[in-house]
Chain A
Amino acid sequence: MPAIKTLATLFLCITLLLSGCSEPPAFKSTDITGADWGKAFVLTDPTGNIRQLTDFRGKAVVIFFGYTQCPDVCPTTLSTMRDTLALLGEEAKRVQVIFVTLDPARDTAEVLGQYAQAFNPSFIGLRGDEATTAALAKEFKVFYSKQKGPTPETYSIDHSAISYAIDPQGRLRLAIRHGEAPEIVAADLKLLLAGK
């Protein structure tokens, strides 16, 4: 009996030791797993269809908020995501990149649709009205603030330059820094697609 007891204790110790050794997945982006925000969106795509986060179950979603008149951060981020998908090869089919406009007044459905798809035909540009946009930005902790330009139509928008990654179960998981290399983003998305 004591031998069995010793064995059982030993087994328990090994189990505990092993579980202690299993490290959390090595994401390079900021792990925000468990966030109680950024849980849902309901927006309109350029063809007028309502799209929501639950539509993309089974895919990793990368969501970025910006505006098409942004000369720098927005096209750079979308180019990074295009290059990321190229690195993912076949797995890219399980990734959905979404560009949400913070400027629905100027980013009409037509402009937004052409803009997002110029980077990759699979990218989707989504928009809401001003109130929906403001509520969604709050939900995703996205800061944005209109800055007056020389004429009423030429304002610019200061905004958060972070992209978020959502796992195939629809859970907000990662905050991807602006300027991150496609190799890093691709590695992180691979982990999410592998169920990490």
Chain B
Amino acid sequence: MNALRIALATTCITLASGVAYASDVEVKAVWVRGTVSGQQATGAFMEVTSQSGAAIVGASSPVAGVTEVHEMKMDGNVMKMRAIPRLDLPAGKIVKLEPGGYHVMLMALKQPLKAGDTVPLTLKIEGNDKKTETIEIKAEVRDLTAAPMRNGHKQ
């Protein structure tokens, strides 16, 4: 019986580290850029899909004092980054949080994030029924110097 419980728990953890589902929201390819000691902030990136339409309305993580959803935009040659109160997830569309666009900003970090570590993240999702729920995900920490996919200019 105990063995079965452990097996079930292991399966759940394995699922959680790869793909996380709420009722209709799927989060994939979650990663966080690592930091050097003393560095107070970094970004988390992922792919989020809602089957029936939803929005990310908040985020939190035990490793950060402050967590926000940010949008990065190039205004000419100037990089501008702003917190956004909600990130819409149109039905059936993959919304990518990736360098050059959106990210979950982890600030006031409580510890350096080392490549290979796992960081828990909670996303607050508002469904199209206006009800909010939370999704627990686990983000793999990649090296600080991880290069993004090169897909041209984001201007």
Nearest to B38 among chain A residues (CB) is A111
Q: Does A158 contact B (CB under 8 A)?
A: yes
List residues of chain B with CB within 8 A of the CB of A179. Answer: 100, 150, 152-155
B27-60 near A? 1/0 per residue, CB < 8 Å: 0000001001111111100000000000000000
A72 x B43 contact (CB < 8 A):
yes
B33 x A75 contact (CB < 8 A):
yes
Interface magnitude class on chain B: 35 or more
Which residues of B in the span 120-155 have a Cβ within 8 Å of any Cβ on A?
143-148, 150, 152-155
B79 x A158 contact (CB < 8 A):
yes
Given A71-B33, A118-B144, A161-B79, the answer on whether A153 and B40 have CB atoms closer than 8 Å is yes
Indicate which residue in A114, A156, A159 contacts B38 across the interface (CB closer than 8 Å). Answer: A114
Binds B, one of A4-12, A19-27, A37-45, A143-151: A143-151
B145 x A82 contact (CB < 8 A):
yes
List residues of chain B with CB within 8 A of the CB of A15. Answer: none
A178 x B39 contact (CB < 8 A):
no
Report how far A149 CA is from B72 CA in the complex, Å. 15
Report how far A106 CA is from B35 CA in the complex, Å. 14
Q: Does B5 contact A (CB under 8 A)?
A: no
Report how far A74 CA is from B143 CA in the complex, Å. 14
Nearest to B75 among chain A residues (CB) is A158
Q: Does B93 contact A (CB under 8 A)?
A: no
Which residues of B in the span 80-127 have a Cβ within 8 Å of any Cβ on A?
80-83, 99-100, 103, 105, 107-108
Report how far A181 CA is from B103 CA in the complex, Å. 22
A158 x B78 contact (CB < 8 A):
yes
A156 x B81 contact (CB < 8 A):
yes
Report how far A150 CA is from B59 CA in the complex, Å. 14
Report how far A187 CA is from B100 CA in the complex, Å. 24
Nearest to B100 among chain A residues (CB) is A72
- B4 → chain A closest CB, angstroms: 42
Indicate which residue in A79, A115, A159, A162 contacts B39 across the interface (CB closer than 8 Å). Answer: A115
Q: Does A78 contact B (CB under 8 A)?
A: yes
Closest 8 CB pairs of A and B: A71-B43, A69-B41, A114-B36, A111-B38, A79-B147, A154-B107, A73-B79, A179-B153
Give A residues with C-beta under 8 Å from B. 68-73, 75-76, 78-80, 82-83, 106, 108, 110-111, 114-115, 118-119, 143, 147, 149-151, 153-154, 156, 158-162, 177-179, 181
Write 28 A-B pairs (CB below 8 A) sorted by A numbering: A68-B36, A71-B33, A71-B72, A71-B105, A72-B99, A75-B99, A78-B145, A79-B147, A106-B40, A110-B38, A111-B38, A115-B39, A118-B144, A119-B145, A147-B80, A147-B81, A150-B66, A150-B107, A151-B65, A151-B107, A154-B41, A154-B65, A156-B81, A158-B78, A158-B81, A160-B77, A160-B79, A179-B155
